[in-house]
Each structure stands twice: as structure tokens, then as C-alpha cells.
Structure 1
Amino acid sequence: MRNFITYEWFTVLTVLGLLFIVAAKYVNTFRFNDFLSVVGNSKYLKIYSKDQKFIDLFDGFLFLNLAFSASIFIFFSYSTFVSPLDFELVPFLKLLLVVSTIIIIKTLLERLIGSLFEIDSLIDSYLFQKTTFKNYSGLVFLVANLFLLYTNTYANIIIIVAFSLIFLINLIGFVTSFKNNQKTINLNFFYFLLYLCALEIAPYVLLYKVIRGYNV
């Protein structure tokens, strides 16, 4: 019965993720098609970074899929490599809340730093690029979850392959951002390292601690 309940809830959440992606495509079909090729083509970043908004409906739908799909993927990863978990809705919703909150607060802090140091345009461009590649990772999470949900074998291989792809996607995004802002970074290298430690590494350490305590 517990396995049935687990698959029921994960199926519902995965379908919601798919609906969010469909909604993003419905909001702007041309932008969505360009978004799908962002890893190998900088066209999307060049065109749409100029029109970005503080609250963007297109990115909002993709973020919702990212939050749902990443939380499910984290659940399967922990259950596969650390300790088998029984699905419980309330603890999972807490995990979903933590994942969403960390991403949102991290983005708001980065915008605040941009305002404080009067580098809003630089931070906005950087955040747009980073958000784009994170949302793209949400597509990989979703596909991986489908395999994890509906195949009974090779869960560890699926997770490793998906994680490797996501790492590669975000590495491409980081390198792209670094190249685009290399002159500014070279002039402020110490602050760049400080930023990496405070806003790129620390939040994931916090998330890891939350996940470690997931089944306590």
C-alpha cells in the first residue's frame, strides 16, 4: 500500500511539473523553443536578457517545475545512496519548501547585493543566465524522475547520469557568465571569491544538512 501511495503522489507532482512546462510554452512559444537550445546556442541569452523582468511568468512556470522535479530527484537520490525512505507527504512538502525557499532567498540576496554595490545591470545579467541554466536543469530532473518512477532497475545509474548532465549544464552556464563578465571579475577577484563562498557554496551546504535530517 505504501508503494502505491508513493507512486500516486509522485505521479501527481510530476504531472504538475509537466503542466508548468506546457504553461511556459503557452505563455511564449518562440521563447520556449529558443530556451530548449540554450546549452549549445547563446541566442536565447542575448535576446531575452534585455527584456527580463523582476517577476517573469515564463521563468516562474519553469521555476515551479524545477522546485517540484528537483525535490523528487533529491528524495530518490537520498533513498538510493544514503538510506531507503518511506514516502510521507508532510516531510516531502517540507523538503519542497526548503528547496524553493533557498533558491528564492538566494536570488533576492544577490539582487540586494547588486543594489548595494550599484551593479544592478551586471547582477541582473548574471542572474538571468544562471536562472536560465537552472530552469533547464529542471527539464533533466523531470526526465530522470520519469525513469526513476516507472522503471525498477538501474536507479543508481539513472541518478548518476542525470546528476552529471545537470552538473555539466550548470558548468556551461557558469563558464558563460564568467566569460561575459571576465573583465569585471578580474578587477574584483577577492569579492568574487567571497561571493562564491557565501552565495554559491553555503546554500547547498545548508540544503545538504536539511536532506541529512530528512528521515530523522
Structure 2
Amino acid sequence: MLREVPSYTLFTVLMVICLFAIAIAKSIAPKRFDEFVLVIGNSKYLKIYGKDQKFLDYYDGLLFLNLIISSAIFFILCLQSFTNEKEFNSTLVFKLVLGIGIFILAKVLLERLIASLFEIDTIIDNYLFQKISYKNYLGLLLLPINAILVFGITPTENIIFGVIILLIIVNISGLFTTFKVYQNEIKNNLFYFILYLCALEIAPYIIIYSIFSA
């Protein structure tokens, strides 16, 4: 059932910014964008654009902007659903956007540093490019989902969990594509890759969970 649409001015402004960011990214590289939307389960985009990757080019930067804003909006919607708190502090949204952006960028920089120490720069650079691509893809999915949850259906706990499960499935599908493409390199550096995953993929989220659940 559709609900009465409240005045979510800030959400509207932020989602418009996201739309502009995506539109500019598509106008900058229309062919790349068309291939990007098919990235899950398709290694063509990763093989082509992973060769000339940069730390964060204009195209990826615009999609990254959409990712952190869309993630912050979805996080607020989760809080509203789980706490039944309809009012929210607009400052919290901006703090979340900034915090998510800093966390992801700092994590990428640390991962590149660790990769250099382990002398597995090539495999990790490719892995990071693919991981950033999948995260940006999740941001692309979150934009229409957020719009539906803000202006359409009421975001109940079941719906929120359903969205989270969908995002996890999409992310796992992307990781399987990555491992399939670089399975030989991963096998040759298996010990370092497992150590890398434990230290920089699992541990940070365990620490964050421990902080928020304390």
C-alpha cells in the first residue's frame, strides 16, 4: 500500500545530486557506462578498464559520490525502520556521507600499502579495481531502492532485511567473478591473499560492529 509522502527535502536534494552524478558519468563515458551496468557476472568490463585503472578517475569518482550518498540515505532509512524514529538530524546524514567516504578511501590506501609490503601489487590493484566497481554498482542499485523507500512503500524491517540480502547476493556474485578471473594469481599467492583478506576485509567490519554493539 502506498503511504502519504512526507516532506523529505534533504533526501530529495541528495538523490537529485546522485542522479546528476550518474548522468555526468554516463555523458563522460557512455560506452563504459553501458558495459558497467552489466558488470555483475560479466568480466568484460573488468578486463577492459582494469588495464588502464587509476586510483580514482572522474568516472569512478562520480559513481563513488553516488555510492556514499546513497549508502548514507539507506543507513538512515534502516535506523528509522529499526527504531521507529521518524525524525532525523540532517547533520547526521552529512556526517555519514563524510564518514563512509573517508572509511572507504582510507581502507583502499591501506590496502595498497599492505599490497606493496607483500609485493602483490598487481593482483591487489586488479582486485581493488573490481571491488570498487562492485561497490559503485551497489550504489547504482541503492538509488532507485532509496527513492522507493522514501516516496513509495513504508520501509519495514522485513523490507530492509530483504534489500540487505539482495545487496549481499549481488556483491558475492561480483566477488565470484573476480576470483574466477584471477584464480591462478590467487592460487600462486594464496597465503598472502588470505592474510590480506583477514586483515583488511574481515577485521575492519568486526571492529566497527564491536564499537556499535558495545
Shift of 1:82: 4.4
In the TM superposition, what is the alpha-carbon distance from 1:206 to its structure 2 partner? 4.5
Runs of 5+ unmatched residues, structure 1: none
Indicate the residue corresponding to 1:198 in structure 2: 199
Report the count of equivalent residues: 209
Amino acid at match of 2:170: I
Q: Which residue of 1 aligns with 2:13?
A: 12
C-alpha distance in structure 1 between counterparts of 2:181 and 2:32, whole Å: 22
Map of 1:30 onto structure 2: 31
Instruction: Tell me how far apart the structure 2 counterparts of residues 209 and 8 of structure 1 sit (CA, whole Å).
Output: 33
Q: Aligned residue for 2:79?
A: 78
| Offset, 1:51 | 1.5
Task: Quote the offset at 1:28 in angstroms.
Answer: 0.3
Amino acid at match of 1:146: A
Task: Summarize the alignment of residues 2-151 of structure 1 with structure 2, pairs less than 5 Å apart.
Answer: 4=7, 7-82=8-83, 84=85, 86-151=87-152
- Measure, in 2, the Cα distance between the counterparts of 1:148 and 1:211: 24
What SS does the corresponding residue of 1:41 show, helix, strand or coil? Answer: coil
CA deviations on 1:91-121 (whole Å, 9 max, x unpaired) are 2211221111111111111111222222222
Displacement of 1:12? 0.5
Is the 1:49–1:128 contact (alpha carbons within 8 Å) kept by the matching residues of 2? yes
Give, in whole Å, the separation in 2 of the partners of 1:154 and 1:181. 39
> What are the residue-to-residue correspondences of 1:157-196 with 2, within 5 Å?
157-196=158-197
What amino acid does structure 1 have at the position aligned with 2:28?
V
Q: Is the 8 A contact 1:144 1:158 kept in 2?
A: no
Q: Given that residues 77 and 155 in structure 2 are in contact (C-alpha distance below 8 angstroms), is that contact kept between their aligned partners in structure 1?
A: no
Alpha-carbon distance in 2 for matches of 1:143, 1:210:
30
Shift of 1:167: 0.7
Identity %: 48
Distance 1:186 1:70, change over 3 A: same
User: 2: CA distance between counterparts of 1:86 and 1:205?
Assistant: 29
Task: Give the superposition deviation at 1:61.
Answer: 0.3
Deviations 1:114-150 (A, max 9, x none): 2222222211111111111110000111111001110
Gaps of 5+ in 2: 1-5
Cα deviation for residue 199 of structure 1 reads: 1.2
Q: How big is the shift at 1:71?
A: 0.7
| TM-score normalized by the length of structure 1 | 0.87
Question: Which structure is higher in RCO with an 8 Å CA cutoff and minimum separation 6?
Answer: 2
Taking the aligned partners of 1:63 and 1:211, their CA distance within structure 2 comes to 25
Aligned CA distance change for structure 1 residues 25 and 70 (closer, same or farther; 3 Å): same
TM score, norm. by length of structure 2: 0.87
Q: Distance in 1 between matches of 2:56 and 2:188?
A: 31
* Contact 1:69–1:141, Cα closer than 8 Å, also in 2: yes
